[in-house]
Structure 1
Amino acid sequence: MEGSNNSFQDHSKGQKTWNHTTPVIFSPLFDWPPRPKAAFLELTKRWVTLTRPALWLIIAWLIYRFLVPDLTVMQAISFDWIGVIFLRNYLLMVVVAGGLHLYFFTFRAQGKRLKYHHLETHEKSRKFSFRNQVWDNMFWSLASGVTIWSCYEVLYYWGLGNGVIPSFAFVDHPVFFVIWLFVLPVLTSSHFYLIHRLLHWPPLYRSVHGVHHRNIHTGPWSGLSMHPVEHIIYISSVLVHFVIPSHPVILMLHLYMRCLGPSFSHSGFEKLLVKDTKVIDSADFHHQLHHRFFECNYGTADAPWDRWFGSYHDGSDEVTLEVKERRKRMYRKKKSA
Structure 2
Amino acid sequence: MDDLKYGVRDKRGDWKPNGRIEGAPLWNWPPRLPKILAWLPGYIWPWNAFHMATALLYWFYVVPSVETMKTISWGWALWLYAVNAAAILVFYGIFELRYYVKRAQATRFKYNHKFPADAPSDVFWFQSQNLDNFLRSFFITIPLWTVVEVIFLWCFANGRVPWVGWQDHPVYLAALVLIAPAIHEVHFFFIHRLIHWGPLYRWIHSVHHNSINPSPWSSLSMHPVEGFLYHAVAFWHLIIPSNPIVALFQLHVAGFGAVNGHLGFDKLEVTEDTAVNSHAYTHYLHHKYFEVNYGGDGLIPLDRWFGTWHDGTREGEAMMDARFQKKKERMNARA
TM-score (norm 2): 0.91
* Counterpart pick for 1:315 among 312, 315, 322: 312
Structure 1 residue 79 corresponds to structure 2 residue 74: yes
Amino acid at match of 1:132: S
- Select between 275-284 and 205-214 the one with higher mean Cα deviation: 275-284
140-149 vs 244-253, greater mean Cα deviation = 244-253
Task: Quote the residue 1:61 is aligned against.
Answer: 56
User: Equivalent of 1:213, from 205, 209, 218?
Assistant: 209
1:291 is matched with 287
Task: Return the offset for 1:182.
Answer: 1.8
1:198 match: 194
291-300 or 271-280: bigger deviation: 271-280
Equivalent in the alignment of 1:236: 232
Q: How far 1:333 sits from its partner (Å)?
A: 6.7
The number of aligned residues is 332
Question: Percent same amino acid among aligned pairs?
Answer: 34
Report if the CA contact (8 A) 2:137-2:220 is conserved: yes
Residue 328 of structure 1 deviates from its aligned partner by: 6.1
Structure 1 residues 78, 285: closer, same or farther in 2, change over 3 A? same
What is the DSSP-based 3-state SS (H/G/I as helix, E as strand, rest coil) of the residue aligned with 2:116?
A: coil
Distance 1:39 1:69 in 2: 39
User: 1:265 is matched with which residue?
Assistant: 261
Q: What are the ranges of 5 or more consecutive residues in structure 1 without an aligned counterpart?
A: none
Q: Structure 1 residue 172: deviation in Å? A: 2.2
What code does the residue aligned with 2:148 have? Y
CA displacement at 1:9 relative to structure 2:
6.6
CA contact (8 A) 2:308 2:320 kept: no
Measured against aligned partners, the alpha-carbon deviations of 1:278-328 in whole angstroms (never above 9, x if no partner) come to: 353324211111111111111112111111111111111243245346546
Q: Is the CA contact 1:9–1:317 (under 8 Å) kept in the aligned structure 2? A: no
Among residues 94, 101, 111, which one is paired with 1:106 in the alignment? 101
Cα deviation per residue 1:167-193 (whole Å; 9 max; x = unaligned)? 222222211221012211211111111
Aligned pair 1:21/2:44, yes or no? Answer: no
The separation in 1 between residues aligned to 2:292 and 2:90, in whole angstroms, is 31
**Partner deviation per Cα, 1:186-222 (whole Å, 9 max, x = no partner):** 1111111111111111011011000010011110011
Q: What is the deviation of 1:330?
A: 4.8
Letter in 2 for 1:7: G
Distance 2:168 2:259 in 1: 34
| Structure 2 Cα separation of the partners of residues 24 and 8 of structure 1 | 15
Q: Structure 1 residue 271: deviation in Å?
A: 2.2
Counterpart residue number, 1:5: 5
Matches of 1:229 and 1:53, distance apart in 2: 26
Aligned to 2:145: 149
Per the alignment, in what secondary structure is the counterpart of residue 17 of structure 2? coil
Instruction: Tell whether 2:111 aligns with 1:116.
Output: yes
Contact 2:261–2:282 (8 Å) recurs in 1:
no
Please give the secondary structure, in 1, of the residue aligned with 2:14.
Answer: strand
- Measured after TM superposition, the shift of residue 38 of structure 1 is 2.5
1:124, 1:131 within 8 Å by CA — same for their partners in 2?
yes
Shift of the 315–3 alpha-carbon distance from structure 1 to 2, 3 Å rule, reads farther
Q: Which amino acid counterpart does residue 85 of structure 1 have in structure 2?
A: L
Q: Is the 8 A contact 1:3 1:19 kept in 2?
A: no
Aligned-pair CA distance for 1:137: 0.5
User: Which stretch shows the higher mean deviation, 125-134 or 166-175?
Assistant: 166-175
Aligned partner letter, 1:22: G
Question: Once the 2 structures are TM-superposed, how far is the Cα of residue 41 of structure 1 from its aligned partner?
Answer: 4.2
Letter in 2 for 1:114: F
Distance 2:42 2:173 in 1: 16
Is the contact between residue 24 and residue 315 of structure 1 (CA under 8 Å) also seen in structure 2?
Answer: yes
Superposed displacement of residue 16, structure 1: 5.2
Aligned in 2, Cα 1:45/1:6: closer, same or farther, shift over 3 Å? closer
Is 2:214 the counterpart of 1:222?
no
Rate the CA distance shift 1:34–1:190 in 2: closer, same or farther, 3 A.
Answer: same
Gapped regions of structure 2 (runs ≥ 5): none
**Distance of 1:151 and 1:4 partners within structure 2:** 45
Partners of 2:21 and 2:312 within 8 A in 1:
yes
Q: 1:56 to 1:278 in 2, by over 3 A?
A: farther
Matching residue's letter, 1:30: W
1:313–1:320 Cα contact (<8 Å) kept: yes
Aligned equivalents of 1:2 and 1:183: distance in 2? 36
Please give the secondary structure, in 2, of the residue aligned with 1:226. coil
Distance 1:64 1:102 in 2: 28
Q: Distance in 1 between matches of 2:6 and 2:102?
A: 25
Task: Assess, with a 3 A threshold, how the Cα gap between structure 1 residues 121 and 235 changes in structure 2: closer, same or farther.
Answer: same
Instruction: Say which of 156, 159, 165 aligns to 1:160.
Output: 156
From 170, 178, 183, the counterpart of 1:182: 178
Asked if 1:251 is matched to 2:247, the reply is yes
SS of equivalent to 1:288: helix
